[in-house]
């Protein structure tokens, strides 16, 4: 036996074991009409046409059976002689590409079988409410649509956007990925292009739609690109989402929350209309791959089996009609309008007990649940925090109050670092990484007064739900700090767009499979530092600040005004923006206040709104969603393939952090600045007199 023959025998034996394990089918040592062909399956890129063209040389084929995602196929001849000839000629031989097969590096290993398993076909069932219109337009119309998009691609490169998974262009309104909605206050010029008039007229004339769409998104997909599974948010759009497929076929996967899966082959020039259950309940998406497994009948006319069809460039026109009121569909569990109206209002606390309860439910319990997922999105240290840590003298003792997963504890190897966090699960992650950590509340840190040389509090204080508790959290950090020591604070900023530059939080979501970095404090690589009249950065002189000037320009004016108000006993500075519009907005809220004052002067408790991720903050106190990955989710509200949690935040306005710090005695602000969508301050604890 030659070396090649021994290799072929080993591969044949291995393939037999694979078949027995996957299908429970044994091969036969006796020649028969039935062949098991390893490496000839849909799972390794071999199509039905490839198998047919190779094996029909040896005789008449009765059937070819190919199974989804399997690396083998079954060939049935009308005679045993033909099967024997095929086995002798093809077993162990590497096929030539592209002369014999379209996939390179394929070698068949063949065995006889007593019978071929029955074929599996992809059914034609559609999700309830889905309308499928095959060949709804003719080829000339298809070319008109494609030529239009090609022209738009060339002429409007400045407005064209390229996501990771495809090229996209919007009309009427920009479709916002992530929340899957639109901003009705920002319509785009031009509306729906006239090239779409004939299609929409035809749909309305035939009664498929009753309202003319006013939003269009054109996507172009290269082979291998796809769409993550999702349901278009209910409240922004009416029933009846229309999608026209052009250029190439693709399989769109519809999935029900109970696990049912219905793949639908979208042929070129076909139209689907998602209505009712298919629009509001089932997710739809396109798996990123270069070929689809489809029924052979969809490409060959009569055969009831599966084959592999390569994808080409596919272009889709998706039409939507925006909604003016709340959605009142029959699926309240999936409906953002109905869930919002049915949920009990969460109020900003008016007592210490209510504040503790709010933070326990919407901060502490949430972080215990999401700790693993949260830690996976927290791996890159922020440069300005690293700068602070590396500036500490050798041998210094650092305390990271609210250390999270401990990403800052090992930055400076020349100092001693300890960390603490309220989340047991985050502390456990720190311990696994070899850090010295313990569990505690940021409002009660079990360290002696003045025991550490430096402290950092990154993204902690903004989780405190009253001004008194935020001030207490800062005081507690300073309590454990040695006189002359420094503390660095970071809090999330209300101003996520500064000097017409958006923070990463507001930038377009990159459509890639990753952790939910977009749901939390934003990380980017630039720090805004502007002096001499800046309204952004404020610097305070001191013995440890080289080249740092006094408060400058407009900032100094705001400071003097604030200092006067603080001396008078007011809780915080007034918002200059709100003052200018006070006649138009009677329900003004001052920075840090817990309550709203109505026109009559009565005090009413403030309702916490749920923030829409990747949008500007509408108020300082809010709930920010966190979508937990499938593998980590617990018993919480379901949203698509994830679980939804709400974390409480108080986002700080410009100057608010400094005002809070100035209320604390024996503390000096060394430096304050804006960094990565956060307001930041370095404080020094002064020596006792």
- CB atoms inside a 10 Å sphere around CB 374: 26
Q: Are 437 and 427 in contact (CB under 8 A)?
A: yes
Question: Cα 220 to the chain's mean position, in Å?
Answer: 21
Length of the chain, in residues:
689
Q: What kind and span of H or E run contains 102?
A: none
pLDDT at 146: 95
Integer Cα distance of 262 and 289 in angstroms: 17
Integer Cα distance of 600 and 238 in angstroms: 39
Nearest residue to 185 via CA among 643, 665, 616, 562: 616
Q: Are 490 and 428 in contact (CB under 8 A)?
A: no
Query: How is residue 640 annotated by DSSP?
Result: T
* Spatial CB neighbours of 56, under 8 Å, sequence gap ≥ 6: none
Q: What is the mean pLDDT of each run of 10 residues along the chain (689 residues)?
A: 85 86 82 93 85 92 84 92 94 87 88 79 79 96 94 59 69 84 87 96 96 95 89 92 96 89 92 96 89 64 62 95 89 82 75 94 94 88 96 98 96 97 96 96 96 98 97 98 97 88 64 36 32 31 31 30 31 33 33 39 66 84 83 44 84 97 96 94 88
Q: Which residues of 516-547 are buried (b: 16+ CB within 10 A; e: fewer)?
A: bbbbbbbbbeebbebeeebbbbbbbeeeeeee
Cis peptide before 98 (omega within 30 of 0): yes
- Domains belonging to the chain, first-starting first, are 3-113 (3.30.70.330), 130-320 (2.60.120.1520), 352-685 (3.40.50.150)
pTM above 0.85, yes or no: no
Q: In angstroms, what CA-CA distances link 472 with 244, 370, 443, 464?
A: 58, 26, 6, 9
* Spatial CB neighbours of 40, under 8 Å, sequence gap ≥ 6: 46, 50, 51, 72, 73, 106, 108
Q: In angstroms, what CA-CA distances link 674 with 519, 553, 601?
A: 20, 17, 35
- CB atoms inside a 10 Å sphere around CB 560: 10
Q: Is 291 helix (H, G, I), strand (E, B) or coil?
A: strand
Integer Cα distance of 588 and 590 in angstroms: 7
Q: Are 131 and 315 in contact (CB under 8 A)?
A: no
pLDDT at 629: 63
pLDDT at 451: 97
DSSP state string for 296-335? THHHHSS--SEEEEE---EEEEEEE-B-SS----S-TTT-
Q: Are 605 and 328 in contact (CB under 8 A)?
A: no
* Spatial CB neighbours of 394, under 8 Å, sequence gap ≥ 6: 414, 415
Structure tokens at 674: 């804006």
pLDDT at 689: 56
Structure tokens at 520: 């939390």
User: Dihedrals φ, ψ of 293, to 5°?
Assistant: -85, 120
pLDDT at 525: 32
Integer Cα distance of 677 and 327 in angstroms: 33
Integer Cα distance of 182 and 169 in angstroms: 14
């Amino acid at each position: 036996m030659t070396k090649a023959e021994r290799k072929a025998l080993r591969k044949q034996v291995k393939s037999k074991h694979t078949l027995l394990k996957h299908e429970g089918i044994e091969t036969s040592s006796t020649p028969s009409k039935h062949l098991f062909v390893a490496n000839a399956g849909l799972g390794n890129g071999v199509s039905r046409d490839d198998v047919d063209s190779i094996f029909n040389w040896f005789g008449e084929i009765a059937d070819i059976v190919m199974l989804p995602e399997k690396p083998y196929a079954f060939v049935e001849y009308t005679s045993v002689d033909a099967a024997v000839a095929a086995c002798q000629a093809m077993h162990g031989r590497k096929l030539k590409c592209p002369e014999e097969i379209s996939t390179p590096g394929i070698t068949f290993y063949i065995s006889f079988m007593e019978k071929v398993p029955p074929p599996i076909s992809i059914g034609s069932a559609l999700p309830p409410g889905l309308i499928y219109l095959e060949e709804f337009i003719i080829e000339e119309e298809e070319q008109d649509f494609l030529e239009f998009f090609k022209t738009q691609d060339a002429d409007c490169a400045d407005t064209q956007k390229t996501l990771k998974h495809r090229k996209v262009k919007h009309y009427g309104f920009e479709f916002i990925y992530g929340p899957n909605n639109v901003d009705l206050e920002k319509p785009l010029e031009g509306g729906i292009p006239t090239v779409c008039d004939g299609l929409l007229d035809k749909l309305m004339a035939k009664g498929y739609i009753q309202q003319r769409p006013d939003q269009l998104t054109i996507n172009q997909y290269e082979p291998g690109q796809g769409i993550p599974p999702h349901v278009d948010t209910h409240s922004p759009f009416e029933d009846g989402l229309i999608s026209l497929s052009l250029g190439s076929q693709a399989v769109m996967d519809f999935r029900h929350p109970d696990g049912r899966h219905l793949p639908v082959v979208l042929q070129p020039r076909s139209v689907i209309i998602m209505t009712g259950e298919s629009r509001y309940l089932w997710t739809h998406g396109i798996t990123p791959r270069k070929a689809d497994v489809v029924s052979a009948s969809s490409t060959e006319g009569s055969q009831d089996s599966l084959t592999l069809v390569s994808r080409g460039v596919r272009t889709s026109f998706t039409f939507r009609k925006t909604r003016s009121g709340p959605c009142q569909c029959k699926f309240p569990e999936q409906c953002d309008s109905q869930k919002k109206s049915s949920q009990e209002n969460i109020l900003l606390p008016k007592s210490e007990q209510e504040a503790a309860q709010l933070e326990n439910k919407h901060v502490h319990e949430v972080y215990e649940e999401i700790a693993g997922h949260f830690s996976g999105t927290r791996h890159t240290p922020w440069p300005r925090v690293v700068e602070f840590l590396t500036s500490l003298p050798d041998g210094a003792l650092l305390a990271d109050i609210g250390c999270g997963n401990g990403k800052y504890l090992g930055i400076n190897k020349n100092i001693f670092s300890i960390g603490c966090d309220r989340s047991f699960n985050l502390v456990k992650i720190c311990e696994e990484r070899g850090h010295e950590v313990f569990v505690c509340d940021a409002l009660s840190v079990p360290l002696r007064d003045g025991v550490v040389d430096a402290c950092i509090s990154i993204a902690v204080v903004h989780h405190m739900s009253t001004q008194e508790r935020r001030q207490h959290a800062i005081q507690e950090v300073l309590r454990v700090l040695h006189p002359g020591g420094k503390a660095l604070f970071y809090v999330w900023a209300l101003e996520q767009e500064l000097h017409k530059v958006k923070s990463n939080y507001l930038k377009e979501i990159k459509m890639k499979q990753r952790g939910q970095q977009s749901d939390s404090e934003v990380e980017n690589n630039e720090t805004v530092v502007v002096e001499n009249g800046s309204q952004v950065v404020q610097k305070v002189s001191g013995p440890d600040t080289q080249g740092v000037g006094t408060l400058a320009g407009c900032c100094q004016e705001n400071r003097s005004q604030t200092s006067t108000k603080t001396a008078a006993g007011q809780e915080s500075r007034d918002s200059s923006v709100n003052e200018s519009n006070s006649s138009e907005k009677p329900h003004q809220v001052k920075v840090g206040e817990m309550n709203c004052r109505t026109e009559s002067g009565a005090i009413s408790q403030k309702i916490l709104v749920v923030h829409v991720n990747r949008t500007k903050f509408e108020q300082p106190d809010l709930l920010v969603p966190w979508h937990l990955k499938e593998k980590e989710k617990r018993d919480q509200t379901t949203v698509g393939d994830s679980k939804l949690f709400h974390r409480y935040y108080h986002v700080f306005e410009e100057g608010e952090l400094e005002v809070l710090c100035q209320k604390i005695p024996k503390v000096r602000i060394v430096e304050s600045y804006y960094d990565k969508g956060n307001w930041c301050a370095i404080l020094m604890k002064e020596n006792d007199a």
